[in-house]
Amino acid sequence: MELIEILILIVSFAILLTVGVPVAYAIGLASLFTMLVGIMPLPAVTTLAQRMATGLDSFALLAIPFFVLAGQFMNRGGIAVRLVDFAKTLVGMLPGGLAYVNILACMLFGAISGSAVAAASAIGGFMGPRMEREGYDRAFGAAVNITSSTTGMIIPPSNILIVYSLASGGVSIAALFVAGYLPGILLGLCLMVVAGYQAWKRRYPTGNRFQLGQVVQKFLAALPSLLLLVIVIGGIVGGIFTATEASAIAVVYTAVLALGVYREVKWRDLAPMLLDTATTTAVVMILIGTSTGMSWVMSYESIPQAVSEALLSVSDNKIVVLLLINLILLVVGTFMDMTPAVLIFTPIFLPVVTKLGVDPIHFGIIMVTNLCLGLCTPPVGSVLFVGCGVANVSIDKVLRPLLPLFLAMLAALLLITYWPGLSLWLPRLFGL
């Protein structure tokens, strides 16, 4: 009977996705169908609703709407332009310099906003036309923007790391935030190497060198934006406030910056910004709620234990098991959004890797890095669609220049997977 219910869960979910049902509804309906068939047919709806409500009853999740709203202020507050100008003074003089500028600006903006989509939209909208004017192929510029925007999911503050903390049963958010720095920088450097080679091969132009005074000027212009990282992460690591409290402080700081210092957001813009924040938060929360329901169904059917036994029966070698998990997550990431993927598969894979001695913090960074690749691939890749839309270029034209950058992301994923110290050195240094 359990096998039948597992098949119903998997098959119904796959069918619902195939016919175009939104992921959140597909997860909830598949869970409901499974419960109606065998687990508890009479109180199925009530039980699923209770599990969804329980999944959302977490103080840590309050950080998500605050960070989303802070991202709104950053996206509209002139921060992207100042970060691009600062990045250009650092790497713009290199061959194919604007490709480096795009990557570095996305890393900085993503680190501040915590959103890959926001980075793709803000930086892509500003850098795309500039790269095209200087002779860069539009599809190449879009591919660079799409892949580099994902670094913001690893470099803190990151909403998806908060979700992982919830799914893992309480791994420290502060430790996850600090652990994301070096892997995120490594990912950006890998993209720079490949983008630089492609730029050299295509003979893209070299930018102008900046005088020291100009570098200082651009740095000072971007400094108020960069200080947000110091305030938020420094406060969390220093134990001054929690991640949730830090998110509220980020909103206050970015609001003052956008409304009072840069003055590029007007008071009349607040209503649509709040509406966008509410819409984004609602989408994320329904994904979290339905994914929590599905996780409970899978736990009830002992699926995590079955997967654990299956993986360990193949091999008890940590290298092999991590490779298998990465391959599974790469497939999952192509058709499932990051939030439900983390909520559903963390309870399945985390017990397996902890048995093999993998630190939960390290595994969280592996998982998020892996699922970042899914943001760049069809059919679900949200960053791919946003990046192509901003650049006004079709997906089929972007895929060719995107492939080498995708391989660079894969190389970074392997390094992050098999080099635990990259993720764990900073948390241990700060005693987290």
Q: Is residue 370 part of a domain?
A: yes
CA distance 241 to 235: 6
| 193 and 222 together in one domain | yes
The set of residues, in sequence order, having a beta carbon less than 8 Å from that of 192 and lying 6+ positions away, is 99, 100, 103, 104
| 81 and 28 together in one domain | no
| 105 and 5 together in one domain | no
253, two tokens = 């700081």
Per-residue pLDDT of the chain (432 residues; tens, 9 = 90+): 456 777 777 788 888 877 878 877 888 888 888 877 766 666 767 777 787 787 777 777 787 888 888 877 877 777 777 777 777 787 767 777 788 888 888 887 777 766 777 777 777 777 778 778 778 888 888 888 889 988 888 888 778 888 898 888 878 888 998 999 999 999 999 998 998 888 888 787 776 677 777 778 888 887 887 787 788 878 877 778 877 888 888 888 888 888 888 888 888 888 888 898 888 888 888 888 888 888 777 777 777 777 777 777 888 888 999 999 999 888 888 877 788 888 888 888 998 899 888 999 999 999 999 998 888 887 677 788 888 888 888 888 888 888 999 999 999 999 999 999 999 999 998 877
Compute the half-sphere exposure of residue 412: CA atoms within 13 Å on the CB side of its CA.
34
Question: Is 152 in contact with 189 (CB distance < 8 Å)?
Answer: no
Q: Which domain holds residue 253?
A: 59-429
- Identify any residues that bridge with 95 across adjacent strands, giving them in sequence order: 206
| 177 and 276 together in one domain | yes
Q: Is residue 115 part of a domain?
A: yes
| 214 and 355 together in one domain | yes
Predicted pLDDT of residue 183: 94
| 18 and 160 together in one domain | no
Q: Is residue 50 part of a domain?
A: no
| 10 and 64 together in one domain | no
Q: Is residue 36 part of a domain?
A: yes
Q: Is residue 113 part of a domain?
A: yes
Predicted pLDDT of residue 42: 61
Question: Is 131 in contact with 146 (CB distance < 8 Å)?
Answer: no
Among 384, 405, 408, 399, smallest CA distance to 146 is for: 384
Predicted pLDDT of residue 149: 87
| 318 and 360 together in one domain | yes
| 155 and 74 together in one domain | yes
CA distance 11 to 308: 21
| 19 and 63 together in one domain | no
* Domain count within the chain: 2
Predicted pLDDT of residue 38: 66
| 147 and 25 together in one domain | no
Q: Is residue 398 part of a domain?
A: yes
Q: Is residue 48 part of a domain?
A: no
Burial of residue 100, with CB atoms counted within 10 A of its CB: 0-12 exposed, 13-18 middle, 19 or more buried: buried
Q: Is residue 178 part of a domain?
A: yes
| 29 and 70 together in one domain | no
CA distance 260 to 255: 8
